[in-house]
Amino acid sequence: MSIDVLLQQIVNGLVVGSVYALVALGYTMVYGILQLINFAHGEIVMIGGPTSVFATKWLLSMGRPSLLALLIAILVAMVVCAVVGVAIERVAYRPLRNAPRLAPLITAIGVSILLQQLAILVFGRNYFTFPELISRDPITIGVVTVTMNEIVILLASVALMAALLWLVHNTKIGTAMRATAENQKVAGLMGIDVNKIIAITFAIGSGLGAIAGVMVASNYGQAHYYMGFMLGLKAFTAAVMGGIGNLWGAMVGGLILGLVENVGLIFVRGDYKDIFAFVVLVLVLIFRPQGLIGERVAERA
């Protein structure tokens, strides 16, 4: 194995990993507040893909400059996904907050299938090509080959994660979110509108997911109604591996998962790539049952 190959795979891993991380944040934020696996999050990310494709195509056909088209398309995708995310919480999860724990999980699965089918109805079963607004031509930097698209993905992810951390730790809304995650009842007594905070959490998580959806679509040049499934599964794996409920955990988990998958490709045939994520997950959890960064949940008498 040459060092060049390793470096190349590390770069590839960081790009994929940062997308995983963005999606994982959506899972972890919701879990942190509601202790609910939002199974439908992968489909929300998926919706971001085709939505941005249609938006950009329409804007380009109106003769808008490509960069502006892309930015507006991202905004449109974010708004659409945030609305979908908030609506799902309102309709499918909120009524079940005091129900047995598996009930909202089943509705989440139902919503996930529903969104996929709706996507087929609205967008169709085809692959949509995403216009090449940011160049996908390879650039060679030293021994490593990247595309402008990948560089933008990396930088944008870092910026978004930093912004999220700032929001959660330095704003009033962020404080309210943390308080709600800590103890809903007490947060409510302190005058926090818990329902509003939960809705905001879904909106932010879905918005980040939408951007991740656009990134994937633009990087691979296509979007598809099924693209949310594996991506969601991997991101969820990443969130758990990092320690679900913990923002840093989701980011670190996502990056590590991306790295492991891509570096692993040097050693193992590509067919087994998807196994990797899960094997690593099992290993991590055997040695650190609370996840890489998750807090230990002590048994309390």
Partner 1 sequence: MAKLMQLKQDKRTQMVWFVALGVLILILPFLAGMLGQAWVRILNVTLLYVMLALGLNVVVGVAGLLDLGYVAFYAVGAYTWSLLASAHFNLHYPFWVLLPLGACLAALAGLMLGAPVLKLRGDYLAIVTLGFGEIVRILMNNFDKVGLPWSDETYNITNGPRGITGIDGLNLFGLDLRKGLDVSGFNVSGFNVSGLQLYYFVFLAFAILSVIGVYRLQHSRLGRAWQALREDEIAAKAMGINTRNIKLAAFGFGALTGGLAGGLFASMQGFVSPESFGLLESIMILAMVVLGGMGHIPGVILGAVLLSAMPEVIRYAADENVQQKIFGVVLIAPEVLRNLIFSLALILIMLFKPQGLWPSPEKK
Footprint of partner 1 on this chain (CB under 8 A)? 31, 35, 37, 92, 95-96, 99-107, 109-114, 116-118, 120-121, 233, 236-237, 240, 244, 269, 271-272, 274-275, 277-279, 281-282, 285-286, 289, 291, 297, 299-301
Whole-number Cα distances in Å, 27 to 6, 90, 147, 245, 273: 30, 17, 28, 8, 22
Phi, psi of 132 (to 5 degrees): -80, 80
Q: Which is nearer to partner 1, 56 or 184 (CB)?
A: 184
| In the complex, least distance from residue 109 CB atom to partner 1, rounded to whole angstroms | 5
- Alpha-helix runs per DSSP H in 35-101: 41-61, 66-88
Q: Which is nearer to partner 1, 80 or 119 (CB)?
A: 119
The count of other CB atoms within 10 Å of the CB of residue 276 is 18
3-state secondary structure of 222: strand
Interatomic CA distance for residues 125 and 167, integer angstroms: 38
Q: How far is the CB of 180 from partner 1 (least distance, A)?
A: 19
> Is the Cα dihedral 42, 211, 265, 134 positive or negative?
positive
Q: How far is the CB of 22 from partner 1 (least distance, A)?
A: 19
Q: Minimum CB separation from partner 1 for residue 175, in Å? A: 26
Q: State which residue, 137 or 271, has the beta carbon closest to partner 1.
A: 271
Least Å distance, CB 50 to partner 1, is 15
CB of 273 to partner 1, least distance (A): 9
Identify which of residues 96 and 173 has a Cβ nearer to partner 1 in the complex.
Answer: 96
Nearer to partner 1, 137 or 287 (CB): 287
Nearer to partner 1, 72 or 105 (CB): 105
Contact between residue 166 and residue 251 where contact means Cβ atoms under 8 Å apart: no
Shortest CB 275 distance to partner 1, Å: 5
If the CB atoms of residues 237 and 262 are measured against partner 1, the closer one turns out to be 237
Residue 7: name the closest of 274, 280, 266 by CA: 266
Report the relative pairing of strands 222-223 and 128-129 from DSSP bridges: antiparallel
Spell 36-46 as b/e; 16+ CB within 10 A means b. bbbbbbbbbbb
On whether the CB atoms of residues 81 and 59 are closer than 8 A, the answer is no
